[in-house]
């Protein structure tokens, strides 16, 4: 199952992708996570991407495409993947088709997590992320048991540098400029399913699992 999660920043793509990856035993591939790892490791890609990411803008297509192509060379994607954060533009959707096509693969299902702006801003400006396992918490909606400490692995929690209100609004603006053409593309090729992601994360997860099992029949 080659599943793509589409949706604005804060729609819960990362949370859903992690849970789905566990339930479906597929790798979770997040372009944002790979870029942040590059920033952390101080690679050339990370150095080029850092300033762009802090402004809430998109990292140039050629850099992200090369990074993704390399990731897709890992044999763990043989049975599928949960892709989160890519594509973000129609051009990237074309690139994704090309990279997968060159390996004899194709996207099976695209799930669009539709969310309102108010919910997104509240979710993101209060989001806390584990520095080690990547688990997400929220200062009020889902606080960790001990302040600043991950419930799962005991590592420290941090706030992403792009999760401040100014950058979140910019990320939303960038997202909205591009998403309609993506939705149109995936609707046209009959791969798109839209879900209300303002609902409880468990409800949304179940809906995605139902869609993916219908798709694999
Ligand atoms: P995310 O973790 O998906 O919210 O991504 C964080 C940031 O990484 C974005 O605001 C972009 O700067 C960059 N990024 C992630 N995925 C992409 C992509 N597909 N194309 C360009 N930039 C990306």
Q: For 150-208, what is each residue's pLDDT tens digit?
A: 999 999 999 999 999 999 999 999 898 889 999 999 999 999 999 999 998 899 999 99
- Separation of CA 151 from chain center: 22
CA distance 146 to 107: 40
**CATH code, domain carrying 89:** 3.40.50.300
**What is the number of structural domains in the chain?**
1
- Separation of CA 78 from chain center: 20
In a domain, 121, yes or no: no
In a domain, 164, yes or no: no
In a domain, 167, yes or no: no
Does the CB atom of residue 77 touch ligand 1 within 6 A?
no
Q: What is the pLDDT of residues 3-42, one digit of tens each?
A: 999 999 889 899 899 999 999 999 999 999 999 999 999 9
Tell me which of 18, 55, 160, 169 is the catalytic residue: 160
In a domain, 150, yes or no: no
- Residue ranges making up the domain that contains 111: 2-115+176-216
How many angstroms separate the alpha carbon of residue 165 from the centre of ligand 1? 17
In a domain, 143, yes or no: no
CB atoms within 10 A of CB 199: 13
Describe the strand order of the beta sheet including 127-130 as a list of residue ranges.
136-138, 127-130, 157-158
pLDDT the model gives residue 129: 94
């Amino acid at each position: 199952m080659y599943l793509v999660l589409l949706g604005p920043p804060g729609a819960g793509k990362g949370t859903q992708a992690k849970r789905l990856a566990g339930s479906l035993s597929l790798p979770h591939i997040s372009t944002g996570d790979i870029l942040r790892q590059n920033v952390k490791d101080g690679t050339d890609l990370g150095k080029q991407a850092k300033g762009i990411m802090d402004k809430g803008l998109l990292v140039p297509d050629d850099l992200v495409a090369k990074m993704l192509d390399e990731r897709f060379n890992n044999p763990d994607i043989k049975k599928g993947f949960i892709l989160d954060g890519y594509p973000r533009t129609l051009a990237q959707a074309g690139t994704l088709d090309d990279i997968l096509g060159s390996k004899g693969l194709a996207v099976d299902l695209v799930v669009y997590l539709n969310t309102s702006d108010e919910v997104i801003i509240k979710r993101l400006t209060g989001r806390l992320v584990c520095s080690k396992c990547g688990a997400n918490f929220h200062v009020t909606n889902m606080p960790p048991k001990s302040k600043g400490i991950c419930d799962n692995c005991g590592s420290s929690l941090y706030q992403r540098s792009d999760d401040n209100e100014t950058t979140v609004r910019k990320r939303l603006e960038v997202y909205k400029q591009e998403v309609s053409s993506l939705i149109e593309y995936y609707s046209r090729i009959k791969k798109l399913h839209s879900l209300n992601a303002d609902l409880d994360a468990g409800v949304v997860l179940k809906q995605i699992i139902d869609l993916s099992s219908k798709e694999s029949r």
